[in-house]
């Protein structure tokens, strides 16, 4: 399976570094977008049902603040993910993007003073701390992804809304729409 993660890296006092547990053929491309933002693309093949990135080079000095306000910080943001050149919906797969942060001592002290309990794991597309970023999915992938899409549609659309979502321009659209209306009626 061909996997592609597209990131934006944000510069603190150094650029973020990610390592990936890729099975074969790792290709990394990067382009500087501005003085503080860099586009980085990781493309590789895997036979596993998970992908693991490790972010490990952020230091306290990579968070720049002025008058107790953060003005610049080193972090990583996922822009998109493709599997076999098909763009995935980050809203659907967001709950499967797990981040296990490794908080610096200074942040833990700040949390303690302010009665904040830092999360042991986060589900997001933006990563401010060192730690492990994993994407775990079920195999066969496309069956699992289709199931996620179907659940999302059933949760967010009623029968009449389905026509607006899918359209009814072709005979096969009408057939699909009728099947989906039947499905939504059985889930009400």
Higher pLDDT, 36 or 186: 36
Is the pLDDT at 78 greater than 90? The verdict is: yes
DSSP state of 173: H
pTM of the predicted model, to two decimals?
0.79
CB 147 within 8 A of CB 155: no
Percent of the chain with pLDDT over 70: 84
Is the pLDDT at 162 greater than 70? The verdict is: no
Going by C-alpha positions, the residue among 170, 155, 169 that lies closest to residue 180 is: 155
Per-residue pLDDT tens for 129-140? 999 999 999 988
Q: Is the peptide bond before 140 cis (omega within 30 degrees of 0)?
A: yes
SS3 of residue 125 by DSSP = coil
Higher pLDDT, 178 or 122: 122
pLDDT band at 188 (very low <50, low <70, confident <90, very high): very low
Going by C-alpha positions, the residue among 128, 133, 134 that lies closest to residue 58 is: 128
- Given strand 18-20, what is the order of strands in its sheet? 18-20, 50-55, 130-136, 97-102, 122-123
Is the pLDDT at 100 greater than 90? The verdict is: yes
Of 13-17, 38-42, 93-97, 179-183, which gets the smallest average pLDDT? 179-183
Average of per-residue pLDDT values in the chain? 87
Which of 44-48, 90-94, 166-170, 172-176 has the largest mean confidence?
Answer: 90-94
Is the pLDDT at 171 greater than 80? The verdict is: no
Average pLDDT, integer, range 181-187: 66
Is the pLDDT at 120 greater than 60? The verdict is: yes
Q: Which two tokens stand for residue 81?
A: 């993910």
Is the pLDDT at 165 greater than 90? The verdict is: no
CA dihedral defined by 11, 14, 102, 145, rounded to 10 degrees? 50
Domains of the chain, earliest start first: 2-138 (2.60.60), 144-186 (no CATH)
CA of 104: how far to CAs of 57, 62, 72, 89, in Å?
12, 12, 17, 32
CB 64 within 8 A of CB 73: yes
**CA-atom Rg of the chain in angstroms:** 21
């Amino acid at each position: 399976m061909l996997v592609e993660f597209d990131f934006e890296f944000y510069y603190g006092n150094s650029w973020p570094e990610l390592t990936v547990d890729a099975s074969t053929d790792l290709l990394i491309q990067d382009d500087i977008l501005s003085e503080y933002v860099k586009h980085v693309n990781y493309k590789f093949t895997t036979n596993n049902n998970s992908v693991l990135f490790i972010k490990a080079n952020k230091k306290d000095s990579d968070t720049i603040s002025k008058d107790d306000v953060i003005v610049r910080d080193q972090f990583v943001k996922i822009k998109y993910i493709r599997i076999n050149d098909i763009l995935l919906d980050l809203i659907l797969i967001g709950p499967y993007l797990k981040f296990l942060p490794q908080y610096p001592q200074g942040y833990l002290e700040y949390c303690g003073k302010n009665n904040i309990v830092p999360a042991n794991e986060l589900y997001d597309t933006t990563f401010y701390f060192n730690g492990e970023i994993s994407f775990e999915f079920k195999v066969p992938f496309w069956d699992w992804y289709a199931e996620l899409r179907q659940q999302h549609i059933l949760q967010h659309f009623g029968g009449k809304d389905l026509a607006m979502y899918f359209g009814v321009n072709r005979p096969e659209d009408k057939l699909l729409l009728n099947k989906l209306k039947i499905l939504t009626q059985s889930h009400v």
